[in-house]
Structure 1
Amino acid sequence: MRAPIGSFEDAAPAAERLDLLTGPVAAAVRAWTGPVPAEQLLYVDTDPAIADTAVFVEHHGPGLLDASANCVVVAGRRGDTTTLAACVVKSAARVDVNGVVRKHLGARKASFAPMDTATGETGMEYGGITPIGLPGDWPLLVDAAVVDTDWVLVGSGRRRGKLILPGKAFAQLPGVTVMEGLGVPLG
């Protein structure tokens, strides 16, 4: 099967590649329900050495920059309470952590979560964190531009491999809030 975006020759339904996903992501794919059918969650194998966005896009097609999204883990703090959340924005944008995210979480201070916290709490590899399979009680903030994209390439839970799914599928993930202005253009 050919992927709907990028120059990936070998795409397959993610449900057929569960052995290549982390435990939490595989469990979420197995349990997938909703208006976007599970068959539309695709897995493509990729080289972890070119997982960073700029190199990845150069290798797999310049059109991927607008069709790619990043998922980052943030920590919002108010007093002794820390709330972990995930944010998904287009790859050509950065997350407005100290504005939109901080206000949404009701935090006094917000920042990117430390790498060991992000990987330890999600069960995913750094550089491959995906919104599919996150802890169920986490807020998931998704920029509206991601949902409005036909097909989106996002991490698979590992640095090797990516998931491709319809943008509208992000709106059906657990704990999701779709927001305007979550992503601020780079530059």
Structure 2
Amino acid sequence: MRAPIGDFDRARPAPDCLDLLTAPVADAVRAWRGSVPADQLLYVDTDPAIADTAVFVEHHGRDLLEASANCVVVAARRGGGTSLAACVVLSSSRVDVNGAVRKHLGARKASFAPMDTATGETGMEYGGITPIGLPADWPLLVDPAVVDIPWVLIGSGRRRGKLIVPGKSFAELPGAVVLEGLGVSAG
């Protein structure tokens, strides 16, 4: 099957590739109930050695520059406690952690979660974290620009491989809130 975006040798429905996904992502794909059928979640094999955005788009297609998203884990502190949330923005943007995220979560302070916390709490590899399969009780903040594009390239839970997912499906994930102002220009 040909991928709807990018230049990949092969795209396969994610339900046919569960063994290539981390356990939480595979479980989420198995239990998928969104308005987009699970077989429209596509898996493409990628080389972790060319994961850097500039090299990746040069190799797999310049159209990916506008269709790639990042999922980052944020630690929000309020009082004596810390809670975790995830944010999804286009790769051409950065997450407004100290503005939109902090305000939405009602936190005194918000910052990117340490790598060991992000990987330990998600069960995913650093550099491959995806919103599909995150803990269901986490807030999942999604920039409207992600939801508005037809197809989005996102991590698969591992550094090797990516998922290509219809943008509208991000608004239907557990805990999802489409938040204006989440992604701001990286320039």
Structure 1 distance, partners of 2:31, 2:133, is 10
Give the equivalent residue in structure 1 for 2:115.
Answer: 115
**Superposition deviation, residue 61 in structure 1:** 0.9
Which string of whole-angstrom CA distances, capped at 9 and with x for unpartnered residues, describes residues 30-82 of structure 1?
00012111111000000011112222112111110110000000001012111
Structure 2 distance, partners of 1:65, 1:116, is 28
**Superposition deviation, residue 181 in structure 1:** 1.1
Structure 2 distance, partners of 1:52, 1:144, is 24
In 2, are the aligned partners of 1:50 and 1:56 still within 8 Å (CA)? yes
Give the equivalent residue in structure 1 for 2:167.
Answer: 167
SS in 2 for 1:63: helix
Q: When the two structures are aligned, how many residues end up with a matched partner? A: 187
Aligned partner letter, 1:184:
V
Give the equivalent residue in structure 2 for 1:136.
Answer: 136
In 2, are the aligned partners of 1:83 and 1:105 still within 8 Å (CA)? no
Give the equivalent residue in structure 1 for 2:70.
Answer: 70
Please list, as runs of the form range in 1=range in 2, the aligned pairs for 1:167-186 lying within 5 A after superposition: 167-186=167-186
1:127 matches 2:127? yes
**Superposition deviation, residue 113 in structure 1:** 0.1
Structure 2 distance, partners of 1:163, 1:148, is 17
In 2, are the aligned partners of 1:128 and 1:159 still within 8 Å (CA)? yes
In 2, are the aligned partners of 1:74 and 1:113 still within 8 Å (CA)? yes
Stretches of structure 2 lacking an aligned partner (at least 5 in a row): none
Structure 1 distance, partners of 2:21, 2:34, is 21
**Superposition deviation, residue 9 in structure 1:** 2.1
Aligned partner letter, 2:76:
G
In 2, are the aligned partners of 1:151 and 1:164 still within 8 Å (CA)? yes
Aligned partner letter, 2:178:
V
Give the equivalent residue in structure 2 for 1:152.
Answer: 152
Aligned partner letter, 2:24:
P
Q: Which runs of 4+ in 1 moved over 6 A?
A: none
Aligned partner letter, 2:11:
A
Structure 1 distance, partners of 2:124, 2:55, is 21
Give the equivalent residue in structure 1 for 2:83.
Answer: 83
Higher mean displacement: 117-126 or 52-61: 52-61
SS in 1 for 2:62: coil
Give the equivalent residue in structure 2 for 1:24.
Answer: 24
SS in 2 for 1:116: helix
**Superposition deviation, residue 114 in structure 1:** 0.1
Give the equivalent residue in structure 2 for 1:99.
Answer: 99
Give the equivalent residue in structure 2 for 1:49.
Answer: 49
Q: What is the root-mean-square deviation of aligned Cα atoms in Å?
A: 0.6
Stretches of structure 1 lacking an aligned partner (at least 5 in a row): none
TM superposition score normalised by structure 1:
0.99
In 2, are the aligned partners of 1:152 and 1:166 still within 8 Å (CA)? yes
In 2, are the aligned partners of 1:125 and 1:159 still within 8 Å (CA)? yes
